Structure 1
Amino acid sequence: MSKSGSVPRTLADRRSPAGPGLRSPSPLRELFAPLEQLLTCGGDARLAIDPGTGRNAYGCGPIPCPDIPAFSSCTASTISQRGYEAAESARTALMASALLHGLVECFDARIEAMRGELKTLLGLERSAAEVVFSASGTDAQLQALALTRALLGNELTTVIVAADQTGSGTVNTARGNHFGDRSTNDCKVSRGAPVSGLGPLSSVAVRLRDGNDRLRSPSAIDAEVLETVESLVAQGARVMLEVMDCSKFGYQAPSDRCTDEIAARWPGRVQIVVDACQMRLGRSRIARYLARGDLVLLTGSKYFAGPPFSGALLVPPQLGQAIGAMTELAPGIADYSSRSDWPMRWRGLRAQFSAAPNFGQWLRWEAALEEIRAYYAVPIAFRRAALRQLGDGIAKIIAGAPALRLLPPQPRPGHDDEFSDPSIFAFTVEPGGHPLSLAQCRAIYSALRDDRPGDTPVGAPAAPCLIGQPVGWGGRDDDAVAAMRICISARHVIDAWAAHPDLAHGALTRILDDAATAVANIQALLPQPDAIAKDFHAD
C-alpha cells in the first residue's frame, strides 16, 4: 500500500488508458507490447484512446499521421515519424541491455543519461541544475509544490499568475489536491481531494482579465502580484509564486522586473516557479530563470510537438544541495512519480519511490528529445526567419477571415531569440458580430478533427485538421465566450528546413496553405454551430 493510502497496481497489472492493460508476468515482457500501446501508458486519463477513432480527446493518436495538418501544439500533437522511430530504437536498445544486465538497472541508467541529454539540448550541460522527469506538466506542478513545501515549511500559500490561462489541473495542484481520478502510477484517487502530505493549501489566483473580460495592463498585473506577495509574507506565510512564461494565448505575466524584485526582497520566504510548459522560450531565458533560483516547469509535448504527455522540472543549483539532503517528500507524491524520475545523486529522496519503470513516460520523452534535437539542428537564422514568416502569414490569414477576430498578441520582452515573436494565434469566432460560446467552439473544434465517414454534419471538412483546444474567454464561468487557437510548432520549422531557399520557401508556403484551409473549414462550419453541437460532444 502506498504511503498516501491508495493501492497502486504492480507494474505488470498497470492498465493503459486506451483499454486492456499490459498483463505480462514479467515487466520486461511489457516492452514487447505494440509501441502505440506503450506510448499511451504511464499517465492519467488524458492519454485515453477512443477505440472508434484511434485518437485521444485532443484528436492525437499514438502512431504518425503526417497527412493531417496540425496547428495544435499549444494543446497536444500526434507523434511524428521521427519521434516514433526514436522511441522504437530506444525500446530495442533497452531490451538488449536489460537481457544482459537487468531491467531496473538499465532503465534507471537510461533515464539518467536522458537527464544529461536534455540539459545539453537546453544549453545547460555546464550547469549544476537538475532534471526531474514526470508524466505531464501538471504532474511536474505537484513535484514543484512538494519540493517547495519541503524547503519553505508547512505555512505555505500558492499564488498562481495567469490562473485563467494555465492548465485546467492547476486549480487543484495549486492547493495540493489531486487533479484527476487516477494518478500516474495508476492509483485510484479522488479529484479535488488532498494529496497526502501536500494539501489542502490556500491559493490565490491572479487573472489576466478584468471583470469586463478585457486584458489587464501589465502594470496592473505586476501591482497585484507584488501586493499579494507582500501581504502574505507580512502575515508570516511562505509563498510559492507560480509565474507564467507563456500562457495558453502566448502571454507572459508578471514582468521580469516584478519577479526580479520579489526574488531580491524575499529570499527564503518566496519560491518562484516558472510555468514554461509551452516551451516557447530560448536557452538563454531558461538559464536566466535558473540563475535567479527559480524552479522551471517544462514539457516536451507542446512547442516541440513530442507525443502527449511528457513533463519535467528543472531545479536550480542553489536548491540542489538542500534537496539532495532530503530523505522524503509528501508521501502522496509517490502516486505520481517513480524512482528513476529523480536524479541518482539524490539517493535519500529516491528511496521513497517505487523502482518500477514507467515505460510510457520514458518513450514519450525519447520521442520528445528527438524533436528537440532536430529543432536545434536547424540553423538559428532559419528558425528566426521561418517563425517570423509563418507568424506573419497566419496572422494575416486569421485577420482576413470575415467572422474571425484575432486577439492581440502580446510583445515578449526579454525574449531575444526566435521566441520574441508570437507563435500562438488566438481568435474569437463571431458570425454576425456575436462571439461564439465555449460549447459552440468546442463543437467546431471537434468537427475539424473528425474524419468518421458518413458521420459529419453538413459543412464539416472532408479531411481532418488539428488546432488548439478552445479556451474560455468571457462570462462568469469563462464559458460565455471562447477563443480558438492556431499555433506554430518546432515541427513546422524542422519540416520546412532546406539548404536551398526555394525548397524552404515552398515548404513554408505549404504550411501556410494548410493554415488557410483550417480557417476556411472553420468559416464553413459557422452557419450551424448549434446544429454541430448536437452531433459532437464537447470535450
Structure 2
Amino acid sequence: MTSAVPKLQTAEAFGLDPFREDVARGMRDLFRPLDDLLTSGGDPRLALDPVSRRNQYGCGAGPAPEIWNFASSTASPISERAYARAGGAREALMRSAIEIGLEAAYDVRMEEIRARLKALLRLPAREVDVVFAPSGTDAQLQALSVARARLGSSPTTIVVGSDQTGSGTAFTARGRHFGAVTAAGRAVRKDMPIAGLACDAIALPLLDRAGALGPRADIDIAVLEAVAAATAGGGSALLQIMDSSKLGWRAPSEACLAEIGRRWPHKVQVVVDACQMRLGRGRIKTYLDRGYMVLITGSKYFGGPAFSGALLLPAAASRVLARNPKVASGLLDYTSRSDWPRSLKALRSRLESRSNLGQWLRWEAALDEMAAYYDIPAAFRLHATRELRSGIEDLIMLSPALGAIGRSVQATMAEDEEFSEPTIFPFLVKGKGGALSADQSRRLHRALARDMSAMPGLSAADREIAARPCLLGQPVELAGPAEQSVAVLRLCVGARLIVEAWSPDPATARRNIERTLDRIAEVVAKIELLLAHPASAKLVESSHGA
C-alpha cells in the first residue's frame, strides 16, 4: 500500500551542489530514505533484521496496516497518517536549512515540537520545560543529572517497579551505560560508570512473590524504608515512581508520597516513570506542580514510532539548572544542545550541537498521533475505553487458554480522564502442562506476529486466522510461586484504536468498536489454534505449572 508521503526531491532541486563540502556535511543525512531516518538516532534496539525488515519489537520502519496491533505497551508500526507527516516535516526542514543552515533550522524545529507537546498536554508554556531524548531510557540519565543538580549531591536511586520497567533502568538507575553504543553513535562499555553520574540504587519490585501473580501489598512500606535508608546520615534520594508499569500498575500510593514530602522535603527528588503515557493530562500537571519530574514517550499508548523520549521539568528544576548549568561529562554521549530548551542558555552552551534527525522525526510522527487523539471528544474517549475494557476482559475470562492476573487497586480522580479505566490487560497463556514458560511465551509472541497458515492440516477458516499477523505487548517475565519462571502477554488499548473507532455518528462508532473486539477475538483464536496444533507442540513442551 502506497503511503501519502511527498516525493523526495534531489539536492539539485533545492538549488544545492551535492558535491560541495558543506552541503555534503550538513545536508547528506536529510536525503537518506525516510525509513532509514526513522530508524536512526537510537540504539541497536531500533535496528531492522535484514530478512524480516522488522526490529526486535516486530515493527518495520514504514506503515503496516495489514498487522492487527494491540501492542501499544511495547511498540507500534507507524500509521500512514503519521508517516506522511514525517515526510512533510523532512521536506520543510530541507527548505529551512537552505535559508538558515541545518543547525539553526533543526533547533527551530525542536523548539516548535517542544511548544506543540506542551500545548497538547495542556501544560503551562512558561512553567514547564521539555528535554527531548532518543528514548525513555536515555531520559532517565537526564533526570539523574538534574537530580544531582537539585540535591547538590550524588543521590541513591530508588526504582519502584524495578521488575516492570525498561530493561535499561537497572543500569541508568546507577548512572551506568545501558548498551554498547549510544544514540549518538558513541562506543561505550555496558555497565561501566558514566562519568559524573555513577551512584547507588535500590530496586523495589512490584510483583507479590509470595503467592498468586499480582501486586505486592507492602510496597508503600518498602518505599518508605528505602527512602529512610537512602537519606540516613545526610544522604539524598532520586525516587522513581511508577505510573504506569508494563502491567498497568501504579505505585506507591498518594498517601505514601505525601508522607515522603512531609518527612524528607529537601532530601528526595521524585521522578515519575510515565513512559507508558497511560495517565490523564491533569495528573501530569499535578505531578509537575508538586515539583516532580516526569518521564514520557511519544510511543507506547500514543502509537508513535518507538524511541521518542522526553523529560518534563517543573519550574523549580529549571531554575536550579539556570543557576547551576554544570553538565556531567558522561552525559555528553547521550544528549545534545537542541534537546534542551533555549531558556537554559548557559547549560546548552556546554553541549555539542548535534542534529538527531531520527529522534526529531519520530517525535513529529508521535505528535501527529497525539493531536488526532485529543481531537476526539473526551466523552467518546472514555466510552470507547470502557467498552474495549469490558470486551477484552470477557474474552480473556472465556478463553480456556488464557488466565488474567491480579490488578493493582488505584485511587482514581477526575484528572485521570479515560485512564480511570485500565488499558493494559496482561494474561498467562496455559498449555497442557500449565502456564507457558518465559521462553515459550516469547516464541508464541513471535509466532503470533507471523503468517502461520502453512501449518499442515488447517481448515480454510483456520488458515485465515493463522495467516493474520498480530502484535501483542511483549512478554513480561515474572517469577511466580516457588520461583517458577513464567511470562505474561498483554492485550493493549492504544490511542490509535480510539481514533479509528471515532465517528460523530453513534451507530458507526458502535460498529467500529465491535469490529475492534472482533479482531481481538481472532487474536485469542489464533493463540488457541497455535497451542492446539501439533506443529506448535514445541510451544507447550516442558511448560511450568501455575
Q: What TM-score comes out, normalization by structure 1 length?
A: 0.91
- Is the partner of 1:242 in helix, strand or coil? strand
> Which 10-residue stretch deviates more, 237-246 or 429-438?
429-438
For structure 2, the 5+ residue unaligned runs are: 1-22, 542-546
Match of 1:375 in 2: 373
Q: C-alpha displacement at 1:150, in angstroms?
A: 2.2
Match of 2:203 among 205, 216, 230: 205
Match of 2:361 in 1: 363
Q: C-alpha displacement at 1:533, in angstroms?
A: 8.9
**Residues 459-499 of structure 1, C-alpha deviation per residue, up to 9 Å, x if partnerless?**
89212110000001125997711111010000000111100
Q: Give distance in 2, aligned partners of 1:245 and 1:109.
A: 32
- Is the partner of 2:251 in helix, strand or coil? coil
Amino acid at match of 1:79: I
Query: Could you tell me whether the CA contact under 8 Å between 2:70 and 2:491 is conserved in 1?
Result: yes
Tell me: CA distance 1:521–1:221, structure 2 relative to 1, closer, same or farther (3 Å).
same
Q: C-alpha displacement at 1:126, in angstroms?
A: 4.5
**Residues 301-348 of structure 1, C-alpha deviation per residue, up to 9 Å, x if partnerless?**
010000111000000012211112233221111111111000111111
Query: Could you tell me whether the CA contact under 8 Å between 2:68 and 2:519 is conserved in 1?
Result: yes
Confirm or deny that 1:449 pairs with 2:456: no
Tell me: CA distance 1:209–1:456, structure 2 relative to 1, closer, same or farther (3 Å).
farther
Confirm or deny that 1:412 pairs with 2:417: no
Query: Could you tell me whether the CA contact under 8 Å between 2:145 and 2:328 is conserved in 1?
Result: yes
Query: Could you tell me whether the CA contact under 8 Å between 2:445 and 2:475 is conserved in 1?
Result: yes
Amino acid at match of 1:234: A
Q: C-alpha displacement at 1:452, in angstroms?
A: 8.2
Map 1:478-497 to 2 at 5 A.
Answer: 480-497=485-502
Tell me: CA distance 1:226–1:465, structure 2 relative to 1, closer, same or farther (3 Å).
same
**Residues 359-382 of structure 1, C-alpha deviation per residue, up to 9 Å, x if partnerless?**
000000000000111110000000
Q: Give distance in 2, aligned partners of 1:45 and 1:479.
A: 30
Tell me: CA distance 1:56–1:26, structure 2 relative to 1, closer, same or farther (3 Å).
same
> Which 10-residue stretch deviates more, 368-377 or 477-486?
477-486
- Is the partner of 1:430 in helix, strand or coil? strand
Tell me: CA distance 1:127–1:327, structure 2 relative to 1, closer, same or farther (3 Å).
closer
Q: C-alpha displacement at 1:82, in angstroms?
A: 1.2
Match of 2:14 in 1: none
Paired residues, what number? 511
Match of 1:13 in 2: none
Match of 1:507 among 500, 503, 512: 512
- Is the partner of 1:484 in helix, strand or coil? strand
Confirm or deny that 1:77 pairs with 2:82: no
Tell me: CA distance 1:415–1:298, structure 2 relative to 1, closer, same or farther (3 Å).
farther
% of aligned pairs identical? 47
Q: Give distance in 2, aligned partners of 1:218 and 1:408.
A: 10
Match of 1:109 in 2: 108
- Is the partner of 1:79 in helix, strand or coil? coil
Confirm or deny that 1:27 pairs with 2:26: yes
Match of 2:389 among 380, 386, 391: 391
- Is the partner of 2:296 in helix, strand or coil? strand
Q: Give distance in 2, aligned partners of 1:145 and 1:422.
A: 30
Q: Give distance in 2, aligned partners of 1:426 and 1:526.
A: 18
Map 1:83-94 to 2 at 5 A.
Answer: 83-94=82-93
Match of 1:266 in 2: 264
Tell me: CA distance 1:477–1:86, structure 2 relative to 1, closer, same or farther (3 Å).
farther
Q: Which has the larger radius of gyration?
A: 2
Confirm or deny that 1:523 pairs with 2:528: yes
Q: What TM-score comes out, normalization by structure 2 length?
A: 0.89
Q: Give distance in 1, aligned partners of 2:347 and 2:484.
A: 42
Q: Give distance in 2, aligned partners of 1:356 and 1:533.
A: 49
> Which 10-residue stretch deviates more, 81-90 or 419-428?
81-90
**Residues 180-234 of structure 1, C-alpha deviation per residue, up to 9 Å, x if partnerless?**
11101010111111111111x2111111123335457665111111122123212
Q: C-alpha displacement at 1:248, in angstroms?
A: 0.5
- Is the partner of 1:164 in helix, strand or coil? coil
Q: Give distance in 2, aligned partners of 1:217 and 1:298.
A: 23
Query: Could you tell me whether the CA contact under 8 Å between 1:161 and 1:205 is conserved in 2?
Result: yes
- Is the partner of 1:77 in helix, strand or coil? coil
Q: C-alpha displacement at 1:414, in angstroms?
A: 3.2
Match of 1:338 in 2: 336
**Residues 230-273 of structure 1, C-alpha deviation per residue, up to 9 Å, x if partnerless?**
23212321100000011000000100111122123212210001
Query: Could you tell me whether the CA contact under 8 Å between 1:40 and 1:62 is conserved in 2?
Result: yes
Q: Give distance in 2, aligned partners of 1:455 and 1:525.
A: 9
Amino acid at match of 1:449: A
Match of 1:6 in 2: none
Match of 2:467 among 448, 458, 462: 462
